[in-house]
Amino acid sequence: MIANIPASRSEVMTHLEGFLDGALPEFLKSVEDSWQPADFLPDARNESFFDEIRDLKERARELSYDLLAVLIGDTITEEALPTYESWIMSIHDVNRNPDSSWMKWNRGWTSEENRHGDLLNRYLYLTGRIDMRQMEASTQYLIADGMDIKTDDDPYRSFVYTSFQETATNVSHRRVGALAKQAGETTLSRICNFIAADEGRHAKAYKTFVKKIFEVDPSEMMLAFEDMMRKKIVMPAHYLRELGIDQGQTFGHFTDAAQRIGVYTSSDYVEIMETLIREWKISSMTGLNSAGEKARDYIMALPNRLKRVADRLRVPELQYKFKWIDS
């Protein structure tokens, strides 16, 4: 037994390594087959560089204030990558062997995610609408402050969290891309669509990990799912803050902006939960003990409860003035 994690979890994680080793090519792309940030933005080596920058800046003027605020928040959370890699490293039975499939997954996942922040940061810099120092300070805060996502270094809880979080990130990037396209900013639309595709593939991986755990340890996995739903999934953006602003205050304004333009709403939270319930076949799960059955009952009833709350939610119309945005 390691810490408070039952021995069965160690056995399950070891059991899944054989599956993961064969599945890595499905869930991760090789460096040779991967896109890179330089594929999307003007190349300073070209004579046309400054003309392309002027065109990009002109198109970026059409992005709404709320859309730009959401894009900045998304970028900051993408750039807090050291926090996520160190968190995965802390999960019991992931970090036992540097050559294990779990560690290969962690390194591959974070290497792909690293491209997202790099690309979005460069794009925002080129728009000329961002106070980059303010944004960079928020990124440093997010990494330095750390975050507690309530998974207790447990692989079962951690994979529920990442299944949910990666799915939510996919939704957010896809919708930012769609709104950018409506505004005529095709470069940003293309960027967001490629990032969303990565997030969707990563979400598929984490959801598959949970599905495989359900096959061999259904009751404990159900209890972990229930526990994370009771705690609620706290997105990394929850810990956003600006210079001179206390932690937690910026997040509320960020979510208001996201809800106003429909990028990520309380209804999306419920829909993601319903997707996980459906994909993991929670309603027809067999082999559960009495505690697992009670956990399943709680999970199955939760979406309708949360829908009633979402239906009553009213989003403030007043736009908060973020320190990140000049115009």
pLDDT at 249: 87
Residue 216 reports pLDDT greater than 70: yes
Kindly name the residue from 198, 217, 226, 227 that is annotated as catalytic.
Answer: 198
The predicted-structure confidence for 276-305, as pLDDT tens digits, reads as follows 999 999 999 999 999 999 999 999 999 999
Long-range contacts of 112-118 (CB under 8 A, 24+ apart): 112/28, 112/29, 112/34, 112/198, 112/202, 113/78, 113/81, 113/84, 113/198, 113/202, 114/81, 115/34, 115/35, 115/36, 115/37, 115/198, 116/78, 116/195, 116/198, 117/75, 117/78, 117/79, 117/81, 118/37
Task: Find residue 325's DSSP bridge partners.
Answer: 130
Looking at residues 160-186, what average pLDDT do you find?
A: 97
Instruction: Give the three-state DSSP class for 114.
Output: helix
Q: Give the pLDDT confidence score for residue 309 in this predicted structure.
A: 86
Q: Is 116 a catalytic residue?
A: yes
pLDDT of residue 110: 95
- At 190-212, the pLDDT tens digits run 999 999 999 999 999 999 999 99
CA distances from 312 to 92, 252, 253 (A): 40, 17, 19
Q: What amino acid is encoded at 57 in this protein?
A: K
Does 315 have pLDDT greater than 80? no
Catalytic residue among 127, 169, 208, 255: 169
Could you read off the pLDDT of 6-20 as tens digits, one per residue? 558 999 999 999 999
Active-site annotation holder among 66, 74, 75, 78? 78
78 is catalytic: yes
Res. 92: pLDDT tops 80: yes
* Residue-by-residue DSSP string for 124-163: HHHHT-B-HHHHHHHHHHHHHH----S-TT-HHHHHHHHH
- 166 is a catalytic site residue: yes
pLDDT at 127 over 90: yes
**pLDDT at residue 27, rounded to an integer:** 97
Q: Which of 92, 173, 202, 238 is catalytic?
A: 202
Q: Is the pLDDT of residue 3 over 50?
A: no
Q: Which long-range contacts (CB under 8 A, 24 or more apart) does 178-185 make?
A: 179/64, 179/67, 179/261, 179/263, 180/63, 180/67, 183/59, 183/62, 183/63, 183/64, 183/67, 184/59, 184/62, 185/59, 185/60, 185/62, 185/63
- DSSP assigned state of 283: G
Give mean pLDDT, residues 66-73: 97
Give me the catalytic one of 153, 199, 220, 268. Answer: 199
Single out the catalytic residue among 74, 113, 153, 220.
113
CA neighbor of 320 nearest in space, from 65, 64, 60: 65
Residues 65-81 have a mean pLDDT of 96
Average model confidence (pLDDT) for the chain? 93
222 vs 264: CA distance, rounded Å: 26
Catalytic residue among 83, 93, 116, 162: 116
Active site residue 167: no
**Please, which pLDDT band fits residue 170 given cuts at 50, 70 and 90?**
very high
Question: Is 35 a catalytic site residue?
Answer: yes
pLDDT of 246 reads 86
Predicted confidence at residue 6, as pLDDT, reads 55
How much is the average pLDDT of 173-199?
Answer: 98
Higher model confidence: residue 248 or residue 149?
149
Chain centroid to CA 19: 24
Active site residue 202: yes
Q: What is the DSSP string of 190-208?
A: HHHHHHHHHHHHHHHHHHH
**Catalytic annotation present for 113:** yes
The reported pLDDT for the residue numbered 1 is 35
- 9-55: per-residue pLDDT in tens? 999 999 999 999 999 999 999 999 999 999 999 999 999 999 999 99
Q: Active site includes 199?
A: yes
Asked if pLDDT for residue 181 goes beyond 90, the answer is yes
Q: Which of 153, 166, 227, 268 is catalytic?
A: 166
